Chain A
Amino acid sequence: MSPGAQIRNWLDDRFGWDDLIAFLKHKTVPLHRYSYWYYLGGITLFLFSLQVVTGILLLLYYRPTPSDAFESVQYIMTQARFGWLIRSIHSWGANLMIFTAFAHMFSVAFLKSYRKPRELTWLSGMVLLFLVLGFGFSGYLLPWNTLAFFATTVGTSLVGQVPLVGHWLLIFLRGGQDVTGATLGRFFAFHVALLPGLATAFILVHLVLIQRFGMSVPPRVEPEWKAKPPEQREIRFFPNFLLRELMGWYLALGVLGSLAALKPWELGTKADPFASAPAGIKPEWYFMFMFETLKLLPAKMWFMTGESLGVIAFGIAALLWTLLPFFDHERQGRSGRWAAGVVVFALAYVVALTAYGYMVMAK
């Protein structure tokens, strides 16, 4: 018996390895003109894994105190062997991961993959999106440079606009009234412990649900898909779909590596809490649409500030978006068309406000 067969037998005796392989061998993925969108979830998972690996490597050098944070990142960028590469992959990877997470979410929304029985998959995915944004927000402060410091000051002050609990939330996030070393400490804890723990749990839930329910076929192509012969309707997950997915992962790795090598992430200047905020301070692109909306709102609207109203509105919008499967539950019908309209509007709004934010900045 070959060594491979011996190992397989050893694993099968203890873990039911053959049953797992049989399941994977029989697992299929629907094949239609929108199948390419299926790869986005896997690419997001791949990028998350890269973030974990590069994040652990950065942890070997990074020090989360105001006196050392910037200097430790500077050391990583200039002295540590391939430190510049690891840090740049981590920073670019974060942006790419958030982009693919948004793309994955919108593709699922457009293809209506959230419908019964996959409502929980959508819910777990939304939680993951919020966790990913939390990763982006908490990680942004860690280099402790000027942009990071003031972006966090502005971002946490907006959280303080939430009625009733806003002030408590602000104090909780900042660890005090202002952004200080306490903020850096707890953002570091969120970024390397709390959020990864929650993300791992929800990724497992998300993956289990996907395995349980399989991939959905979009309603608009379902008739033509069903009309195909069975052998043309699906491809095997293993190895056909997995090989294609691996190709996508390697291409994503190539893009990430090119960005990291050709445009390494900037170090910036060390944060000075006593300096005034740089003119034109802006958040990262994934928060830009919210930031611009709040800027466009009047200072006072009815009995509350424009910012408070904006924060509440975004909270309600996020809640309604998360509950989308429960509004669009008919196979055919009005609710479906309404939901499609809402998705188009949401995407257009996000893109337009983000572009507007950068246009205003360029002027």
Chain B
Amino acid sequence: MEGKRQTRMGRTGWTGLLFSFALCLMFASPAHAQTTQNSCLDCHSRLDPPLQVKAEVFARSIHAQKGLSCVSCHGGDPTTDDMARAMSPAAGFKGPISRKQIPALCASCHSNAAYMRGFDPSLRTDEFSQYQTSVHGQLLAKGDTKVAVCTDCHGLHDIRAPSDPQSSVYPLNVAKTCATCHANAAYMKPYKIPTDQYASYTASVHYEDLTVKGDLSAPTCVTCHGSHGAAPPGVTSVVNVCSTCHIFQAELFDKSPHKQAFASMGLPGCVVCHSNHRIVEPTDAFIGTGKGAVCVNCHTRGDPGYIAAARIHQGLTELTVSIQRSDNILSEAESSGVEVGSALLELNDARDDLMKARVSVHNFSVAPVEKNIQAGLAVTQKTYKAGVAALAERDYRRKGLGIALIVILAVVIGFGLLIKKVESRNRQETQK
């Protein structure tokens, strides 16, 4: 009896223990807890836009990946479900953040070098100071909240690192981001600036390099205009940006008569001939006096510049045609089986001379261009002669083959006749 009572109590005890355990599990679940990890997202993921912030979207952002959360920018207490407590000023909640406050808010971390060093020592921390020098920054300071602030370019709760291909400021996406405003004629009307920049840029050689050839270092909007400041760091004006890549052309231009002339007329250097956004692949037609030439925009028939332009164009055309002629003859020889590798290699020297001639055009003087052209023509003359010799060799080989085949055929026929003679004799001997 004692044992049975003990067993009954043991069973009751076990049941009660299990029930308590189940209760604990139920109330320990996040849905029922009085405290929570991130009540901000718990609520805001269920709201409608513009207050909606989806948890999975935020989770993919660079801020979330670096361990930051809602309170890092907005303040408040994310551990409680109680809205009043979660969004109380006592808990540090900053309230709605206006567009004018956004740059300073972002800068509270991004301009703090000591703080940012903990995430990535290579990151710049002068974005805010740069921004304040830009047109966007200056107009914002005057109260114009239509201008771009940090979140317009980088995103809001879905900010990704600039190196992330899905980031709005990844090189392939920058132009489209800028065009969100700058291609919107209605939005940009008060500012009285063109809105065709994006359309022009997408027709340019820079855009082609970026999107077709996949060269991520090719210029996009921020390359010339700066990503936060008015111009890239270390460059005083957008007009001077071209020379940071196109060094030789810029050096030659600085020594040319055009430098002084353009400066005195207030003309923006490279842009005068090459445009600023619709920069297309320059051809030899750019220089000269024919259709598509930019020289005739300023120079008139008979003036020294007009004559120089015509002479330069003639020289470039002559060398281009000469290179093509050599290439054609050498290719013909090569496809015929004659070895012309060294001549083809040498022809590359002429191509180099042509490239140098095209660069030296920026001197806007005949002599340096002519020097490169003559060097190139000397090479093409030599390679053309090599091509002629190669074709002569080909013809010699074919003649030799023809003669050899005739001899071989004659020998084969001779053998055939001999076989007939021998076998005829054999048959006669057999019949005897």
A231 with B339: CB separation less than 8 A: no
| Nearest CB in chain B to that of A264: its residue | B337
* Residues of chain A within 8 A of B106, CB atoms compared: none
Interface string of B398-425 (1 = CB under 8 A from A): 1011001100110110011011001100
Which among A124-132, A191-199, A247-255 touches the partner chain? A247-255
Interface string of A242-275 (1 = CB under 8 A from B): 0110110011011001100111100100000000
* Residues of chain B within 8 A of A253, CB atoms compared: 408
Interface residues in A233-249 by Cβ distance below 8 A to B read 236, 239-240, 243-244, 246-247
B419 with A257: CB separation less than 8 A: no
Within the complex, what minimum Cβ distance (angstroms) separates B279 from chain A?
A: 34
* Residues of chain A within 8 A of B409, CB atoms compared: 254
Q: Given A74-B339, A267-B341, do A257 and B404 touch, yes or no (CB 8 Å)?
A: yes
Interface string of A47-87 (1 = CB under 8 A from B): 00000000000000000000000000010011000001100
* Residues of chain A within 8 A of B419, CB atoms compared: 240, 243-244, 247
Within the complex, what minimum Cβ distance (angstroms) separates A310 from chain B?
A: 37
Task: Tell which of A236, A243, A251 has the most Cβ of chain B within 10 Å.
Answer: A243
Q: Given A77-B339, A257-B404, A264-B338, do A250 and B411 touch, yes or no (CB 8 Å)?
A: yes
Within the complex, what minimum Cβ distance (angstroms) separates A73 from chain B?
A: 10
Q: Given A243-B418, A250-B411, A251-B412, do A261 and B341 touch, yes or no (CB 8 Å)?
A: no
Q: Given A231-B430, A253-B408, A257-B404, do A240 and B398 touch, yes or no (CB 8 Å)?
A: no
B422 with A240: CB separation less than 8 A: yes
The complex places the Cα of A250 from the Cα of B412 at a distance, in Å, of 7
| Nearest CB in chain B to that of A257: its residue | B404
* Residues of chain B within 8 A of A261, CB atoms compared: 337, 397-398, 400-401
| Nearest CB in chain A to that of B341: its residue | A267
Interface string of B320-339 (1 = CB under 8 A from A): 00000000000000000111
* Residues of chain B within 8 A of A264, CB atoms compared: 337-339
| Nearest CB in chain B to that of A268: its residue | B341
Within the complex, what minimum Cβ distance (angstroms) separates B396 from chain A?
A: 10
Residue B337 contacts which of A236, A240, A263 (CB distance < 8 angstroms)?
A: A263
Interface residues in B231-249 by Cβ distance below 8 A to A read none
Task: Tell which of B411, B415, B418, B430 has the most Cβ of chain A within 10 Å.
Answer: B415
* Residues of chain B within 8 A of A239, CB atoms compared: 418, 422
* Residues of chain A within 8 A of B426, CB atoms compared: 236, 240
B339 with A84: CB separation less than 8 A: yes
Asked if B428 is an interface residue, CB under 8 A from chain A, the answer is no
A257 with B415: CB separation less than 8 A: no
The complex places the Cα of A240 from the Cα of B405 at a distance, in Å, of 24
Within the complex, what minimum Cβ distance (angstroms) separates A88 from chain B?
A: 8
CB contacts between A and B, total, < 8 Å:
61
The complex places the Cα of A77 from the Cα of B397 at a distance, in Å, of 13
| Nearest CB in chain A to that of B408: its residue | A254
The complex places the Cα of A74 from the Cα of B345 at a distance, in Å, of 14
* Residues of chain A within 8 A of B408, CB atoms compared: 250-251, 253-254, 257
The complex places the Cα of A263 from the Cα of B418 at a distance, in Å, of 33
Interface residues in B368-411 by Cβ distance below 8 A to A read 397-398, 400-401, 404-405, 408-409, 411
Asked if B342 is an interface residue, CB under 8 A from chain A, the answer is yes
Within the complex, what minimum Cβ distance (angstroms) separates B341 from chain A?
A: 6
B339 with A78: CB separation less than 8 A: yes
The complex places the Cα of A262 from the Cα of B337 at a distance, in Å, of 7
- Interface size of B in residues (CB-CB distance below 8 Å): 23
Within the complex, what minimum Cβ distance (angstroms) separates B414 from chain A?
A: 9
Within the complex, what minimum Cβ distance (angstroms) separates A31 from chain B?
A: 11
The complex places the Cα of A264 from the Cα of B426 at a distance, in Å, of 44
Task: Tell which of A236, A261, A263 has the most Cβ of chain B within 10 Å.
Answer: A261
The complex places the Cα of A264 from the Cα of B335 at a distance, in Å, of 10
Within the complex, what minimum Cβ distance (angstroms) separates B426 from chain A?
A: 8
Within the complex, what minimum Cβ distance (angstroms) separates A344 from chain B?
A: 33
The complex places the Cα of A33 from the Cα of B400 at a distance, in Å, of 37
The complex places the Cα of A244 from the Cα of B423 at a distance, in Å, of 12
Within the complex, what minimum Cβ distance (angstroms) separates B210 from chain A?
A: 26
The complex places the Cα of A77 from the Cα of B408 at a distance, in Å, of 25
| Nearest CB in chain B to that of A244: its residue | B419
The complex places the Cα of A251 from the Cα of B411 at a distance, in Å, of 10
The complex places the Cα of A263 from the Cα of B398 at a distance, in Å, of 11
B415 with A246: CB separation less than 8 A: yes
| Nearest CB in chain A to that of B400: its residue | A261
Residue A78 contacts which of B337, B342, B411 (CB distance < 8 angstroms)?
A: B342
Interface residues in A254-305 by Cβ distance below 8 A to B read 254, 257-258, 261-264, 267
* Residues of chain B within 8 A of A231, CB atoms compared: 430
Q: Given A78-B339, A243-B419, A262-B337, do A257 and B412 touch, yes or no (CB 8 Å)?
A: no
* Residues of chain B within 8 A of A74, CB atoms compared: 339, 341
Interface string of B27-48 (1 = CB under 8 A from A): 0000000000000000000000
B339 with A267: CB separation less than 8 A: yes
A243 with B342: CB separation less than 8 A: no
* Residues of chain A within 8 A of B404, CB atoms compared: 254, 257
The complex places the Cα of A267 from the Cα of B345 at a distance, in Å, of 14
Q: Given A77-B339, A239-B422, do A247 and B416 touch, yes or no (CB 8 Å)?
A: yes
A257 with B339: CB separation less than 8 A: no
The complex places the Cα of A77 from the Cα of B338 at a distance, in Å, of 9
* Residues of chain A within 8 A of B416, CB atoms compared: 247
The complex places the Cα of A231 from the Cα of B400 at a distance, in Å, of 44
The complex places the Cα of A262 from the Cα of B399 at a distance, in Å, of 11
| Nearest CB in chain A to that of B337: its residue | A264
The complex places the Cα of A95 from the Cα of B401 at a distance, in Å, of 20
Within the complex, what minimum Cβ distance (angstroms) separates A162 from chain B?
A: 39
* Residues of chain A within 8 A of B422, CB atoms compared: 239-240, 243
Q: Given A240-B422, A240-B423, A247-B415, do A254 and B337 touch, yes or no (CB 8 Å)?
A: no
Known: A84-B397, A250-B415, A257-B405; 12 extra A-B contacts, CB below 8 A, are A74-B339, A78-B339, A84-B338, A85-B397, A231-B430, A236-B426, A244-B419, A250-B408, A250-B412, A261-B337, A261-B398, A262-B398
A selection of 10 A-B contacts at a CB cut-off of 8 Å is: A74-B341, A77-B339, A78-B342, A240-B423, A243-B419, A246-B415, A250-B411, A250-B412, A257-B405, A261-B398
Q: Which 4 A-B pairs have the closest CB atoms?
A: A264-B337, A261-B401, A254-B408, A77-B339
